[in-house]
Amino acid sequence: MQITYHGHSCFELVNEKNILIDPFLSGNPLYNGADVEPDIIAVTHGHSDHLGDTADIASRTGATVVCNHEIAKYLQSEGIMAEIMNIGGVFEIDDVTFAMTEARHSSSINNIHAGGSAAGFVISENSIDGNSNNNDSSIIYHAGDTGLFTDMELIADLHTPEICMLPIGGRYTMNPEDAAIAASWIGADIVIPMHYNTFDSIKQDPMEFVELVGNLCDSEVIIMKPSETIEI
Ligand code: NI
Ligand code: MN
């Protein structure tokens, strides 16, 4: 599968389907304007740097949005097709399985509407139990915006993620130290840092994260540059 990083917390997973996570594009200084054509858009929480351009992209492409109850109701009121799930639940659409995980964070929509609970996703293709049986796909854990919490170990036990995206920016989420501990608990083969260097308030040196992870576990850190695509 291909993974493209559009900066901040926005990733595009391309295999049988095109899955776009947290499409913060307009206003994202790290986004290079590349075209996006998702089949499915997964939204971790309502903050504008995650919900982002979801409504516009879904209107243009007909993509289905997967998100929590509150965000789905908001999007449906705007005429967008949104599938409701919630934390602890598993939902399959188009042979892609989404497990919605806890995230320690808040959520609101346009700073006005209640956004429900913030979340993360474990995403896998062609499976209903979280175990990928498609050799070209990997089990991906996108942690959303979150502080460190010990149930990341439970998420790892339940879903055995192979690739995980962790926020390292600090201030609103984990910093590199906490994210390295998270990486050691999750035990994925590959860890990709996110949610840093978009704004001055979340400036971090990702090389520090590489070193901290190296001290704690065997996971390989891949630092993706904005607009970079990797093949896994
Ligand atoms: Ni947030
Ligand atoms: Mn955020």
Q: What is the pLDDT of residues 146-194, one digit of tens each?
A: 999 999 999 999 999 999 999 999 999 999 999 999 999 999 999 999 9
pTM recorded for the entire structure: 0.95
Q: Across residues 54-66, what is the average pLDDT?
A: 98
Distance CA 37, CA 4 (A): 12
Contact 7, 195 (CB under 8 A): no
Domain boundaries, the chain: 2-231
How does DSSP classify residue 95?
Answer: T
Whether 91 has a pLDDT exceeding 90, the answer reads: yes
Fold exhibited by the domain 2-231: Metallo-beta-lactamase; Chain A (3.60.15)
For 39, the 3-state DSSP assignment is: coil
> What is the 133 CA–ligand 1 centroid distance (Å)?
32
Distance CA 91, CA 150 (A): 24
> What is the 187 CA–ligand 2 centroid distance (Å)?
24
Distance CA 232, CA 217 (A): 20
> What is the 134 CA–ligand 2 centroid distance (Å)?
31
> What is the pLDDT confidence band of residue 126, given thresholds at 50, 70 and 90?
confident
Over residues 98-112, the pLDDT tens digits come to 999 999 999 999 988
Distance CA 56, CA 61 (A): 9
For 67, the 3-state DSSP assignment is: strand
> What is the 135 CA–ligand 2 centroid distance (Å)?
32
Contact 176, 166 (CB under 8 A): no
> What is the pLDDT confidence band of residue 133, given thresholds at 50, 70 and 90?
low
Contact 205, 211 (CB under 8 A): no
And the tokens for 103?
A: 């995230």
Identify residues whose C-beta is under 5 A from ligand 1, the ion. Answer: 47, 145
**What does the pLDDT read at residue 143?**
99
> What is the 86 CA–ligand 2 centroid distance (Å)?
19
> What is the 126 CA–ligand 2 centroid distance (Å)?
29
Count of CB atoms situated within 10 Å of the CB of 172: 17
